[in-house]
């Protein structure tokens, strides 16, 4: 997958061989501490950061490189696929993520409501 494809599609989930993932079901959850945010217009930097994320992913079983583009920002991370929604939500909360991604529906599931419930209990 090329940088141009990633920008055109507003992101991608890549395998460790930097090919587009064929996973169609489950939920992608980013790992805490593996996120980078850069300007999407910086193609060379984007290429570099995808390579860095991939190097980190190599050491983590069943991990992927996730990229999504929002406005002029590119978010690059190392993530894992979890098949069960409840487990994905719990893992997302443990990793302090604001959202997870539903592969089947192609939609973001916001977790901030779950965080509000935790803080409301205090």
Partnered with residue 27 across adjacent β-strands are 82, 102
62, pLDDT greater than 70 = yes
Q: Yes or no: say if 6 and 69 are a contact pair by the CB < 8 Å rule.
A: yes
pLDDT band at 105 (very low <50, low <70, confident <90, very high): very high
Is the model's pTM score more than 0.85? no
In the three-class reduction of DSSP (H, G, I as helix; E, B as strand; rest coil), residue 120 is classed as: helix
The residue behind tokens 């991370």 is 77
Domain boundaries defined on the chain: 3-120
pLDDT (average), residues 65-77: 93
């Amino acid at each position: 997958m090329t940088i141009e494809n990633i920008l055109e599609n507003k992101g991608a989930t890549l395998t460790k061989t930097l090919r587009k993932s064929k996973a169609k079901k489950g939920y992608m959850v980013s790992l805490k501490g593996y996120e980078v945010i850069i300007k999407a217009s910086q193609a060379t930097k984007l290429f570099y950061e995808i390579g860095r994320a991939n190097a980190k992913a190599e050491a983590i079983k069943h991990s992927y490189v996730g990229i999504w583009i929002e406005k002029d920002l590119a978010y690059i991370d190392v993530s894992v696929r979890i098949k069960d929604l409840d487990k994905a939500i719990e893992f997302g909360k443990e990793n302090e993520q604001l959202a997870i991604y539903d592969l089947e529906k192609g939609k973001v599931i916001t977790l901030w409501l779950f965080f509000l419930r935790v803080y409301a209990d205090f």
